[in-house]
Each structure stands twice: as C-alpha cells, then as structure tokens.
Structure 1
Amino acid sequence: MIATNLESKVQFPPRTEPPQTKHAKIVERTYHNNKDSDYTEKLKELGENFNYASNSNYYWSNPDLSLLYGTPLYDAVSPSQKLALNHLYWVGNYNHTAVSEATTSIYNMVTTGVFRAVGGYDTLCDELEFETEQESHHIRTFQRIGFKTKMAIVGKTILGNSLYGTTSKEDSSWVKRLTPQPIREFFVSSQGSSPYTIYRDSALSAIAKTMLGDKKQYYSQYLKDLDARGEPVPAPADGLGGRIAARHWLRFFTIHWGISPFMACQYYSLRYTANAILKNQEYPYVRYFRELEHKGEYIPTPTAVSNYHLLDEAFHTTISQTIAKDMYKDFPKPTAYEKFVAGQAIYMMQRNLLSGLSGVFPGRCVYDDPMLMVFFLKLLKSPLFGMETKEALNWMEQCFCQEHEGFNVALKYHASLLESMRKLFGRLDYQWQINREMGVMAAGGSISKALENNHKTFKEFSQTVLAQES
C-alpha cells in the first residue's frame, strides 16, 4: 500500500521565494556568487589542453603529497622517480575525487526531488542542479589528466586491480563442503543477485518506507522515475560512497534521503565529509599554486586545476554546511527512528572511511587495505621500478609495516581533518555523542594501531600473492 502511494504523482507547489531565514540568504548569495565566478570553463580548457611532457619535469605540489613519501623506498629512489610519485599521488587523489563527485551528482538529484516537493527552496534546488552540471566537467578534466599521466608513467600496468579476482577462499572452505547445495544457491549466485540479496533489499526498503510513511508526499521524483523504469535505488561501489557501507546499506540510507526532508538535510552532513576530505588535501595545492604565482615561476597544469577546482568547490562546501547545520531546523524535529538512522550512517562513515592512517598515501585518513596493496605491488612491478615480486614485497613490508616519516605526515593531515569534522558534527544536536566528537576517527589517529593493522593485512596479502605465483 505504501509503495503504491509513493509512486503516485506528487503535485509540486508553485515556485516561491525561500523563507527569509539567515541560512536561506546564505544559499541565495552562494548560488549567485557560484554562477558569477564559475571556473568550470577554465578547468575544461586546462583538461583539454593538458600535455604530460610539458608538465613532467615539475613537482605538482610540495613533495610530501607524493606516494610513498617518507618511506624507506622513497629515500632510495631517483629524482625522476620521486617526480613520478608526486604526479601519481595527484592522479590517485583526483581519480578518487572524480568517482566521489559522480556519486554526489546522484545524491544531489535525490535530495533536490525532496526539496522541490516541500516547496519554498527553489534557489537551493537551482544551486544543487548547477553543482551537478559543474561536477560533470570537473570529472572529465580529472579523468583526462589522470589517464594521460598514468599512460606516460606506467602504461596500462596499474589500470585496474584484478589480482584478487582469480581466486576464491570459499571454493575450498569447509563451509562450502558442509553446506547443502540449495542453501548455497539461496545465498550465493553466479548470475546477478541471489534470492537472499533480493529479499534482504526488499525488506530494508519496506522498513524505510513504512517508518517514513507519513512523509510519502515528499518522495523524490528522481527515485520515483527509477521505480517507474524498474531500476534499483542507486548505491555506489567506488569512491567515498563505496567505502562508507555495503551497497545494500547505502540503498537503505538513500531511500531515507529521498523521502524525509530532515534526512535529506542529514545527507549533507555526509556530503560535507567529502568536501572536508577534499579541502584537506587540495588546499596544499592551492598554497603551492600561490607560491609559484608569487615567484613568477611555471605553474604545472594539474596544480592550476587544483586551485580553480577548490574555488568552485568552496561554494559546494558552504551549501553542505548550511543545509547540514541550519536548514534541517526548518522541519519538524526528527523522530527517534530518523535519529537512529542518521546516527548509524555517520557511525558507519567513521568506522569504514576515517578510522585509520596510511603511511604510503599521506593525507589519506583511511587504513591501508588489500586493494591499496594491490595497487602498490603493480606500481613496483611496473616499468617505473621494474621489480620482481619478492623484491617488491620486501620493500612494501618496510613501507607498510615499519614506522617512518610518512606516518607522521599522515598524522598532520589527520589532525587537520578531525578538527574540521568536529566543527560541523559538534553542532548537530540530534547526532550520537560518538559522532559529534568524531570518536572513532579520533581513535584511528594512531601510528601503532596503523602498524598493527598493516602487519596483519600485509601478511595475508603477501601469502596470497606468493601462493598465486607458486
């Protein structure tokens, strides 16, 4: 019954001016300033004209934003290899940013549908739609520069992480041998979704729509259109979104962000996390750009892209902050259920996204996982280094599992991001205390914990690699 009502046509109220609250004025001013100072065309031009050879002999940032910076291997490599590691750091950072901005574009459309249905937020919706347009140009610029750079430095060697795709622990496990075939087929399918995943996703969707049934009139037109086409609720597998939670949980959260006005606002506290992570790593590029500009020195194209991108993204960050900490108060206070879901989403974000340090990717406030190790193994075996597997693993063990300067650099970036996160989440009265204080993230800012995690992860990783080559 609820699903049927949700699919019914919502009659949007006529366009009206937003209420003249302080935050409505901030939104209106931000929208007009963003339109007036749009750097999208500049970024598009830089991306289209990028030539790696013209930028290959320059650092694109200060050296500390380089892969493997501060590790024993970094100290041993040649000046040209250090330049390449600096360039590949930019590529890795902005490849991640491109995927995350694609996710942002989807959720902008999900939440815009809610705010349009509420009425009175036309300027905000116009801003979110304009941001989505900007993101599409940003993404293409990052991808062009990233692809040309990777091809010039390592060729196709590290375009993908297929190492783990060739074996399956389950194939030889005692669980499979002892589990009856019908039960295995219920939980695991080699062709699309298994019966279990279909039932699980349907159940989570039903829970969300039942608990938010009194807000069905705000159901996002974007999600309604997906329903009409028989398409699933979006859930990213990559980027920041893919790290936050498993896809079935992301679909569950998305339904909430696409029905409840309060939850749509709560999503922007999550979007602010992406804004803050980006600024934490991007602002050093801006400082470097300004130093080069002041000295009258050559400015590499990627450094200029970072500078102009942050100028665009500053408006996006303002919107995230304004919706997350002020606009949610326009609506009725959240129910106990909405508070629970909002708390769970941010807790998962802390646990899965911001609960560690990386000593090989400074500025990355995420623990080092097997997929990152796959990347570095391929990098060390690429033409840039030309190592054999055992030599590469030996260097990786020193970089991942021994304390070095890279971890101290990581702590600096972690502390800066933690401060930004607490400034926003500390103001959200509906959030759990551990989320307001960013308790999980704070606990992850430990070199000893990072090393402990890396020892375990690297041991399993190296055993898998050597077993495949034997």
Structure 2
Amino acid sequence: MSTTINTTPKLNNNPPSLLAKDSKTRKKLELNYRRAKQTDHSPALDQLAEQFDYQQCRDQYWQAPEFSLLYGTPLWDQASAAQKLILNHLYWVAYYTQIIAAEVATIYFNQTSATGLYPLTDFRLVCDTLDLETSQERCHIQAFQTVIDQVEQILFGGNLFGQPRRSPFRETMIFADTNQLKNWWKGMQLQGFGLLSANNTFLACQYLTVRGLRTLNGKLVQHKLSHFYQQQEAERNPIPTQISYYHFLDESFHFNTSTILSHDVGGLLPAPTAFERQLVNLGIRGCQRDHYHVSVAINGIFWYDPALYGTIAELLTSPLFGLSAQECEAMLWACFAQETEGLHRSFQTHQEAWLSYQAYLDPLPFVDQTNKSMALMKGNSMEHYLKLQSRALQSFFQTNPFPSTSPKAN
C-alpha cells in the first residue's frame, strides 16, 4: 500500500498587506507610533493632577489674558484684576470641559475604527496606535476633570461649566443649538456610524478624516495656549498651564495619525462606493454644522451663545461679580448683542478654522464640493451673529425667570 504525499502548497487565504505596497506610508506610521510612545506624557499628567491645588495658583494667569472668558467685551473691560484672573481660569475650565466631551467620543470611535481595520493584514500597527491614543485620552480626561471640579467647587460650591461624564452618543458641543428631538436623532446617527464603521474598512479609516478636522480645530487654539508655557521657565508655570502644554504635545501625534490614515492609508483602499462616500460627507457636514456658530464668550470653541446665557447670568450674579438682576441683563446685552473686540477675535479664529479645514480636505477625492469649500461654516457672519443674539436675548428674558439665587462663591 503506497501513501501519496500531497506536495501542493497550501493557499494563503489572507488578504494582501496594504501597507506592504507603500513602504513610505508604513514608515510614517511606524515613526509616529514610536515617537508618540516614547514621549507619552500620561505619567506626567497623572502626577500633575494629583498635585493640583487651586489655592496655590489662583493668583496666576493660566494662559495669555486674551484667552479669558468674555475677553474683549465690556465685562472684561470693567472687571477688577482679581475678576480677570477668575475669567482666565474659567476659560480653561470651559475649554477643557468641551475637550472632555470630544475625547469621550474619540475613545469610543477609536475602538470601532480599530475593529474595522484590524482584519486587514499588517494593520496591527494602526490598531496599536489607536490603542495608545485611547489610553492617553483617558489620562487627559482625568487631569482636566480634576482641575475643573476643584476650581468650580471652590468658586461656586458646585459645577458651572463642568458636566457629568457624557455618553459618546450625545451632541459633541456642550452648549449647542439643539433640543430633545435633535439630541435623539444625533444619538441614533452616532450609534449607527459606530456599527457600520466597525465592519467597513473605508468608513473605519475615514472616521479619522472627521477626527482630523476636530483635532485641527483644537490644535489651532492649543498651539497658541502652549506659547504661554514656553514664554516662562517650566517650573514657574502653574499646573493647569503645564497640563495644557503636555496635552497639546500628545494631540500633535494624534493629529498626525488622523492625517496619515485619512490621506495616505485611505489612498491605498479600493475606491469607495456611493453609499460610503455619502456617509463620510454627512459626517464632515455634521462637523461643519457643529462649528458653524461663533462664541464671543469663549474664543476657540464654537458654542451656541444663546445656550450660554443662563450660565453667564449665574456667574455675573454670583458674589464673585455681584451684579444685580438689572445690571446683569444690561451686561448680557452689551457683551453678546454689540460689536466688540472679543467678537472680532472669535470670528478671526472661526475663519482660521475653516481655511485650515479646506486645506486639510483638499487632497481627498471623495469629499464633495460643499464640504471642500466649507460652505456651511463660511455662511456665518458678524451681522448674522448680532441679529441672532438680539432675538435670542429678547426671548431669554421673556421666557426665563431671572435667577434669584446664585452659586455660592468663596
């Protein structure tokens, strides 16, 4: 009885490696991951958060004065030196409250994207990069939350801008032009995209296009904030300033990841279907809608200022500022419904953002003209803003009883 040995080689059913086709892209990914891992600032941020004591740095600016709440408005012009410090600190609190909300969503969608990309041969490098960034996001959130909670507890006895930990399926903007129905629909869209991108290579990759736009917005502001750290001796910077700087360094690598995956790796994938193109363009238009509004209250975060009126009124009528109801109403009109230096600065930042978004999207062939031209964002104007505030303030004072009690201040 003879035995026949099958010498036919076994077929390799694994898909071909996309990264092997482009050594330049792989080297970019390897270099970005290696440097991000080597310079991971998570241990430093954890230590800074543990050491933070508001009483030790409440008499210092945490970033340049122009990055203060309602800078360049009558409130800033009339504020005392001590009140200007509070407005500077509250800018930090408000800004990073928004960053927390964005990073909670990033943690979730990093993982759904990694799920969609991991089946590709040789894509462990990409997934390891997203895992590292997810771990860093958790660290960032913890550091921000520590400072926010302590500052607002001391100033107000509770949160003013600070929020309970949010679901990734909520509106990204904390102070948005929204309602219950819009919130529900946005949640359905985000959950649907998460499910689709976890099983679709193109969508998993191109989530990073939207992430790149949002990170680019943050990078524009945080780069300016980092100048304050660099202008002083490192050890003389207050802890919140140091946290801002280290976060900026981490996010620079995150932006690199978004760019490489959306531009370089995306170019290695098969051309998207009409359905895939439509979904990605809907996501980019959603980013345009989120970033359409301009906030005079906080330059660099595209909040919907009418949603902020109640919060600002609480601040103004607190013992920290001590305005009467009548004085507060007059101040809200002066700050939000008049052309001010602060409004011009905020629109300048808004223009810098949409110009940068245009440049970022220009190389991507599947992005439609409405998104490449940033038509929605460009449609805003100071004239439109001021008319909106005038109508919204009238409605606010007609439909909302003016706060009779204010947060406790110390």
TM score, norm. by length of structure 1 = 0.76
- Does residue 415 (structure 1) correspond to residue 351 (structure 2)? The answer is yes
Aligned counterparts, 1:353-368, within 5 A: 353-368=290-305
The question of whether the paired residues in 2 share the 8 Å contact of 1:401 and 1:451 is answered with: yes
1:378–1:15 CA distance, 2 compared to 1 (3 A): farther
The aligned residue for residue 385 of structure 2 is 450
The question of whether the paired residues in 2 share the 8 Å contact of 1:369 and 1:457 is answered with: yes
1:365–1:159 CA distance, 2 compared to 1 (3 A): closer
The aligned residue for residue 248 of structure 2 is 310
The residue identity in structure 2 corresponding to 1:334 is P
The aligned residue for residue 255 of structure 1 is 195
- Does residue 336 (structure 1) correspond to residue 336 (structure 2)? The answer is no
Identical columns (%): 30
The aligned residue for residue 127 of structure 1 is 129
The question of whether the paired residues in 1 share the 8 Å contact of 2:19 and 2:25 is answered with: no
The aligned residue for residue 266 of structure 1 is 206
The question of whether the paired residues in 1 share the 8 Å contact of 2:175 and 2:305 is answered with: no
The aligned residue for residue 324 of structure 2 is 388
The residue identity in structure 1 corresponding to 2:65 is P
The aligned residue for residue 379 of structure 1 is 315
The aligned residue for residue 239 of structure 1 is 172
The aligned residue for residue 460 of structure 1 is 395
Choose from 98, 113, 116 the match for 1:114: 116
Greater CA deviation, 360-369 or 308-317? 360-369
1:255–1:55 CA distance, 2 compared to 1 (3 A): same
Instruction: Give the secondary-structure state (helix, strand or coil) at the position aligned to 2:298.
Output: coil
* In 2, Cα distance between equivalents of 1:157 and 1:124: 38
Greater CA deviation, 310-319 or 112-121? 112-121
Aligned counterparts, 1:46-445, within 5 A: 46-156=48-158, 158=160, 235-240=168-173, 246-293=186-233, 298-351=236-289, 353-370=290-307, 372-444=308-380
The question of whether the paired residues in 1 share the 8 Å contact of 2:18 and 2:121 is answered with: no
How many equivalent residue pairs?
A: 382
The question of whether the paired residues in 2 share the 8 Å contact of 1:362 and 1:410 is answered with: yes
Structure with a larger share of its residues in helix: 1
1:242–1:348 CA distance, 2 compared to 1 (3 A): farther
The question of whether the paired residues in 1 share the 8 Å contact of 2:93 and 2:161 is answered with: no
The question of whether the paired residues in 1 share the 8 Å contact of 2:281 and 2:367 is answered with: yes
The question of whether the paired residues in 2 share the 8 Å contact of 1:272 and 1:317 is answered with: yes
TM score, norm. by length of structure 2 = 0.87
Give 1:397 deviation, angstroms: 1.4
Instruction: Give the secondary-structure state (helix, strand or coil) at the position aligned to 2:228.
Output: helix
1:369–1:272 CA distance, 2 compared to 1 (3 A): farther
* In 2, Cα distance between equivalents of 1:426 and 1:453: 32
1:367–1:468 CA distance, 2 compared to 1 (3 A): closer
Ranges in structure 2 where 5+ consecutive residues have no aligned partner: 1-12, 177-182, 405-410
**1:42-80 residue CA offsets vs partner (Å, 9 max, x unmatched):** 111111101111111111111111011111111111110
Instruction: Give the secondary-structure state (helix, strand or coil) at the position aligned to 1:123.
Output: helix
Instruction: Give the secondary-structure state (helix, strand or coil) at the position aligned to 1:246.
Output: helix
Give 1:315 deviation, angstroms: 0.7
Ranges in structure 1 where 5+ consecutive residues have no aligned partner: 1-11, 163-233
The question of whether the paired residues in 1 share the 8 Å contact of 2:288 and 2:374 is answered with: yes
Greater CA deviation, 321-330 or 87-96? 321-330
Give 1:241 deviation, angstroms: 9.2
Give 1:16 deviation, angstroms: 7.5
The residue identity in structure 2 corresponding to 1:466 is P
The residue identity in structure 2 corresponding to 1:313 is E
The question of whether the paired residues in 1 share the 8 Å contact of 2:95 and 2:298 is answered with: no
The question of whether the paired residues in 2 share the 8 Å contact of 1:34 and 1:312 is answered with: yes
